[in-house]
Amino acid sequence: MQRRLLDYLIITLKGMAMGAADVVPGVSGGTIAFISGIYEELIQSINNISFSSLKIWKKSGFRAMWTSINGNFLLALVTGIAISIFSLARFISWLLDTHPIAVWSFFFGLVIASIYFIGKQITRWSAKVIIAAVLGGIVSYYITVAHPVSSPDGYTYLFLSGFIAIIAMILPGISGAFILLLMGSYEIVINTINQLREGLFEGNMQVLGQAFSKLAVFGIGALLGLKVFSGALHWMFKHHKNTTLALLTGFMIGSLNKIWPWKETLTWRINSHQQEVPVLQRSISPFHVDGDSQLLIACLLALAGFFTIYLLEKIAVKAQKS
């Protein structure tokens, strides 16, 4: 696929959106990839990375190998994700702390529109396809109401956390950050990222080394999980596309419980800054909220989220026709 510099800049922006989503418990970077129309290319590109790539490098040179794995696309996307994790993620977290109903309403509209447009891609509904959608919805919903656990602060568990969380991060509707929260690793990973940033800015080699070693173990687990699961997804898209789309649609439907804007907090936890943050929450009616439900603003932002996806879809269809 021939792309211009502007095309890669847009891919980097999509990566930034994925990175911001992956940091927020409840929103999936895979959903953003699906929304922005790069999901199948991402899965296929990851699946192309294998030992045979090294053979291509040895036989035909680095450029041939780079082209075979769609390297420019992956580099632009990963760059965007990294920029977001180290910069925009903090802003997204601030918005969630200060304007939670508004932010979740916008996300809710995004996902509703995504469910509609992804569901439209299913060309034939059969019993198998319907079962896949229902199963995806049940699994995703169960994840949103599951009880988090306290994790052992060790490298083996960090490796396992990376392996499992990355699978969720590329699945639309299942939040990798929320999986980390369920496993008790979310706080550790976020703190390690902050330590890495502080170590870089302050030149503290001891802090930098500790943070880098933890992230390296987590990253190796994530890369292995990504490679294993992307191969399975690539095969599913190739041989059972309707069933796969139905399963992913079900995942997003089930996740709506997590991103419903109005919540009642059932349990809390203390973060590293000795602040109380919610853990288990229950979706409630906006008319049962204790205080201002911000219903009008929430509806307007949900519509804004929905029509953002609607316009992106229309632009993408127009681009394909031309």
> Tens of pLDDT along 259-268?
899 988 887 7
pTM of the model: 0.69
Asked if the model's pLDDT at residue 319 lies above 60, the reply is no
Which among 270, 290, 252 is positioned nearest to 109, based on CA atoms? 252
Local confidence band at 127 (pLDDT 50, 70, 90 cut-offs): very high
Q: How far is it, in rounded angstroms, from Cα 84 to Cα 212?
A: 18
Q: How far is it, in rounded angstroms, from Cα 124 to Cα 199?
A: 53
> Tens of pLDDT along 221-273?
988 888 888 888 878 888 998 998 899 888 889 888 888 999 888 877 775 55
Mean pLDDT of the chain: 82
**What is the length of the chain?**
322
Asked if the model's pLDDT at residue 305 lies above 60, the reply is yes
- Residue 83 corresponds to which tokens in the numbers above? 């920029």
Predicted pLDDT at 23: 75
Scanning the chain, the segments in alpha helix (DSSP H) are 5-23, 29-35, 39-48, 51-60, 62-68, 71-83, 89-98, 100-120, 127-145, 155-169, 176-183, 186-202, 205-239, 241-259, 295-321
Q: Which stretch of 36-50, 65-79, 236-250, 304-318 has the lowest confidence by average pLDDT?
A: 304-318
Which among 33, 81, 42, 72 is positioned nearest to 230, based on CA atoms? 42
Q: For residue 164, with 0-12 CB atoms within 10 Å meaning exposed, 13-18 middle and 19 or more buried, which class applies?
A: buried
> Tens of pLDDT along 6-44?
889 999 999 998 888 777 765 678 878 877 888 888 988
Q: How far is it, in rounded angstroms, from Cα 274 to Cα 259?
A: 25
> Tens of pLDDT along 142-183?
877 877 665 556 788 889 888 888 877 777 766 677 677 666
> Tens of pLDDT along 77-99?
999 998 888 777 667 767 877 88
Q: How far is it, in rounded angstroms, from Cα 68 to Cα 45?
A: 8
The mean pLDDT of 54-83, rounded to a whole number, is 92
